[in-house]
Amino acid sequence: MELSSDRVVATLEMSQVKSKDDEPFNSDGDYESLPPHVSVTTHMTAGAVAGILEHTVMYPVDSVKTRMQSLQPDPNAQYKSVYEALKRIIRTEGIFRPFRGLNITMLGAGPAHALYFACYERVKRSLSEVIQSGGNSHLANGMAGSLATVLHDAVMNPAEVVKQRMQMYNSPYRGLLDCVRTVTRTEGVGAFYRSYSTQLTMNIPFQAVHFITYELMQEQLNPHRHYHPGTHIVSGAAAGAVSAAVTTPLDVCKTLLNTQENVALNSVNISGHLTGMANAFRTVYRLGGLPAFFKGVQARIIYQMPSTAIAWSVYEFFKYFLTKQHLEQEAGPGPL
C-alpha cells in the first residue's frame, strides 16, 4: 500500500514521507509511535482486529496445545505431534471439534487486545520521553508491555477458563453458556479468576520478552521504522517463539488451574479445587517431574509464531491505514 496523494505528503513534510511504487510508507519521525494527534480509538481498533485474527487463525493448534498439556491424558487423547493430534481429532471427533470454544475467545479477544495495544502505545511513548528523551527505550517497551498485560488478562482470563474447559477431551459442557452456568454454580464466580495470578506471572515476562524481542528485531531489520510488512511478520514470529518457549512452564500450571483436571488431581489425592500458583507448581512436579513443565512446548511455539506475526502485521497495517486516512481527511479535497 502506498501514499499517492500530494496533499498527504504535504501534511507529513516534517516526516519526509515518500510516495514511490517501490518504497514503503517511510517516516523519519518514527512511524511506530504514530503522530500525537492520532486518537486512542485508532490504537484500540487496530488492536481489536489484530487480536481477533491472532486467536482465530491458529485456534486449532491452541486446542491441541491444551490437550497436550494434560498431565494424565485419556489414552485416546495422547498425541505424538501437533499434526497427528489434529488429524486424529478431526477423524474421531469431527472437523469442527478443534474450533470448540472459539466463540468465547473471539468475544474476549476484541476488547482485551483493544485495551492491550492502546495502553502499550501510550505508556511506551510516555516512558520513552522520560527515560530516553523520546528515543526507543527497551526498558520502556518492557514496562509498557507488562502494564498492558494486566489490563488484557483482566478481560481475557474468564474467556481462557471457558475456552480451555471446552477444548479438553471428553469435555462435559454442551456449549459456552452451559460451561459458564455450570462453573458458576459448582465452583463460584471466583473460578474464572483462579488462574489470574499465574496468568499474570506468565504473561508479564512473556510480554516483556515479546515486546523487547520485537523492538530489537525492528531495530535490526527496520531501523528507520518504515511501514514494511515483511519486517513486522519476521519480528513478530521471532518474538512469539522466544517468549512462548521461556514461559511454557507457567502455561502448563495455568492450564491445570483452568481445567482442574480431575484424573490428575485425584491421582495425587487432591480433593476439591486446586488453587494458587505455588500449589500448581508442586502438583505438576509431583505428576511428571521437570519434563512435565514443558508439555506442549512444541504446539505452543507453533501456535505463537504465526499468531504474533499475524497480530503485529495486522496491527501495523491498521495503524498505517487509519493514519493515512486521517491525514487525507485533514488535508481536505484536492484541486478539481
Tens-place pLDDT, residues 287-306: 999 999 999 999 999 999 99
In a domain, 293, yes or no: yes
In a domain, 123, yes or no: yes
Tens-place pLDDT, residues 82-121: 999 999 999 999 999 999 999 999 999 999 989 988 888 8
Per-residue pLDDT at 123 exceeds 70: yes
Which of the 8 DSSP states describes residue 170? Answer: T
User: Which amino acid is located at 49 in the chain?
Assistant: V
In a domain, 315, yes or no: yes
In a domain, 93, yes or no: yes
* Full residue range of the structural domain in which residue 80 is found: 2-331
Tell me how many domains the chain contains. Answer: 1
CA distance 254 to 260: 10
Q: What is the Cα gyration radius of the chain? A: 22
Tens-place pLDDT, residues 213-269: 998 999 999 888 788 899 999 999 999 999 999 999 999 999 999 988 887 888 877
Phi, psi of 227 (to 5 degrees): -80, 110
CA distance 37 to 34: 8
CA distance 258 to 271: 16
Query: Would you state the pLDDT for residue 179?
Result: 96
CA distance 45 to 334: 28
In a domain, 336, yes or no: no
Tens-place pLDDT, residues 190-221: 999 999 988 888 888 887 888 889 989 999 99
- For the domain that residue 23 is a member of, what is the CATH number? 1.50.40.10
Q: Are 225 and 31 in contact (CB under 8 A)?
A: yes
Dihedral sign for Cα atoms in the order 132, 148, 47, 65: positive
- Cell 483482566 locates to 154
**Angle, nearest 10°, between helix axes 138-167 and 59-68?**
80
Give kind and range of the element (H or E) at residue 243.
helix 229-246
In a domain, 205, yes or no: yes
- Cell 514521507 locates to 17
